[in-house]
Amino acid sequence: MSASAAARKSEAEMRMWVIPMNYVGAAVLAGFTLPRLEQAYLASYNISMSVGSAQAYLSAAASGMMALTGIVFAMAFVMVQFSAIAYSPRLVLWFGRDPILFHALGVFSATFIYALFTLAWVDREGDGSVPLVSSLLVGGLIIVSLFLFSKLIQRLGDLQISNVLHTIGDRGRAVIRELFPPLPENALLADETAGAAVDDHAFGPVMLELRYSGPPRTIARINTDALVKLAQGARATIVMLSAVGDTLVEDTPLLRVRGKGEAIRDDALLRTIELRRERTFEQDPKYPIRLLVDVAIKALSPAINDPTTAVQTIDQIEDLLRRLGGSQLAAGVIKDADGIVRLVLPMPSWDDYLTLAFDEIRLYGVTSVQVMRRMRSALVSLARSPLPPARVERLRKYLAHLDAVIAASPLDLQDRSMASQEDRQGIGMSRRS
């Protein structure tokens, strides 16, 4: 079955340009109505300001807002360019879609437009009147504009590396809390089958196989509750063949419906899958780790040579792995109230998270003593934490692999000895094990 309508799901995402357009529309509407109402009902309540002073005040407000709008555009360009060069191109949209930026553009534009409308009603028909409410409203908009401008200046501080890493880490921690329940106390076995291929033949014959048709799009979110209800109503089981974070291209298998019940409409299935042009944090705990790794390997590139930044990213990665290690990762098999499997989702395993978190940093940072010491410290600390034995064993194997990589690195004997020590600061205080 074709899924050509699935591409339209990406259009459901919020368009940030609507925010300033709403402000502009409100300013135009107020500019046409409010001065006329003042002229009709509040003509005797004119502000005690001369016509010349009012015209100078409103002209300065309008022209000043245009200059301030230009500054905001310049700041937005700096934020986007800096995040792309210093951190990762995947952070460009994140900073570029800051709501504060679009609200500031909207208020600045609204102040400019309404100041012009008010200026047109000063000394209307030579009566020497100055609209009271409109003049005060322009002053209020100027105060709000200055407040938003100060918030934008504050946003520049958010581009510091520590703030960026903490923000990414906070998003990752929120996703883990939302998706994965904690392991029960004294759990000896973890859900190590997570991410493994599911033999869906046990769920009956194939009733429907949905394939994607359209331009490349990424799965941003799956409405699991809606899929379970659809499967339960059809007395079937839905097996997702693509996971959250996967990029779909033409004819990519999307899902398969198995069972002997009633048919499910493909458009109903498509409404449960949200597609975007890029990955998002929703339902994707791998994405914050991916961003952190991107920042780390960019810092380790020969053009930048900033291993301290890589060490700071490992701080956040270790915390995310510690939380994942204490969670039930196999959350991909969902049953209904009767205990019947209705939905199967592909989920990453503990090994997948370890590979994503450390492999590329290990490859690009093998010649950095600081990075190797911090990575070894993270692995040793995780292996000593109260995790299920199977996951601890995987950590020990990865630690042995890291030691082998250090031993085969181009570092001399003394540097290899230093790199084999644990140090949470990278190079600060050695801890031998």
Instruction: Give this prediction's pTM.
Output: 0.78
Residue 428 lies in a domain: no
Number of domains comprising the chain? 3
25 and 112 co-located in one domain: yes
Residue 274, beta-bridge partner list? 221
Residue 426 lies in a domain: no
249 and 379 co-located in one domain: no
Q: What is the pLDDT of residue 83?
A: 65
- DSSP conformational letter for 372: H
Q: Which helix (H) or strand (E) holds 196?
A: none
How far is the CA of 310 from the CAs of 286, 300, 360, in angstroms?
Answer: 18, 7, 11
- Of the three residues 116, 136, 159, the one that is the final residue of a domain is 159
CB of 365 closer than 8 Å to CB of 410: no
200 and 150 co-located in one domain: no
Note down the domain range covering 228: 2-7+192-276
Kindly state the tokens that stand for 74: 């310049």
Cα–Cα dist 118/230, whole Å: 57
To which residue do tokens 């759990």 refer? 187
Taking each continuous run of H as one helix and of E as one strand, the counts in the chain are 14, 9
Cα–Cα dist 175/170, whole Å: 9
| Ranges assigned E (strand) in 382-433 | none
297 and 412 co-located in one domain: yes
127 and 236 co-located in one domain: no
Strands in 217-222's sheet, in edge-to-edge order, are: 247-248, 217-222, 273-276
69 and 119 co-located in one domain: yes
Residue 178 lies in a domain: no
Cα–Cα dist 405/239, whole Å: 39
Residue 249 lies in a domain: yes
Residue 174 lies in a domain: no
Reduced to 3 states (helix: H, G, I; strand: E, B; else coil), residue 424 is coil
Distance of CA 383 to the CA centre of its chain: 29
Give φ, ψ of 420 to 5 degrees: -85, 5
- pLDDT of the chain, 433 residues: tens digit per residue: 434 343 343 343 457 778 889 999 999 999 999 988 887 777 666 666 788 888 898 999 998 888 888 887 777 777 667 666 767 777 766 666 778 888 888 999 999 999 999 998 888 777 777 888 888 899 999 999 999 888 887 777 677 788 889 989 999 999 999 888 888 776 655 455 444 455 666 777 888 899 998 999 999 999 988 999 999 988 899 999 999 999 999 999 999 999 888 888 888 999 999 998 888 888 889 999 999 999 999 999 888 888 999 999 999 999 999 999 998 887 678 888 888 889 998 889 899 999 999 999 999 999 999 999 999 999 999 999 888 899 999 999 999 999 999 999 998 999 898 888 888 888 877 665 5
Kindly state the tokens that stand for 327: 């969670």
Distance of CA 128 to the CA centre of its chain: 55
Cα–Cα dist 167/155, whole Å: 13
- DSSP conformational letter for 193: T
Q: What is the pLDDT of residue 29?
A: 94
The dihedral of CA 316, 318, 322, 325: what is its sign?
positive
135 and 26 co-located in one domain: yes
Residue 432 lies in a domain: no
Antiparallel, parallel or unpaired: β 273-276 and 217-222: antiparallel
Q: Count Cβ atoms within 10 A of the Cβ of residue 202 and give its class: 0-12 exposed, 13-18 middle, 19 or more buried.
A: exposed
41 and 101 co-located in one domain: yes
251 and 114 co-located in one domain: no
296 and 412 co-located in one domain: yes
- Of the three residues 135, 159, 183, the one that is the final residue of a domain is 159
Cα–Cα dist 236/249, whole Å: 27
CB of 341 closer than 8 Å to CB of 227: no
229 and 362 co-located in one domain: no
Give the amino acid at 369.
V
236 and 314 co-located in one domain: no
Kindly state the tokens that stand for 392: 């601890």
- Of the three residues 231, 250, 276, the one that is the final residue of a domain is 276
Residue 294 lies in a domain: yes
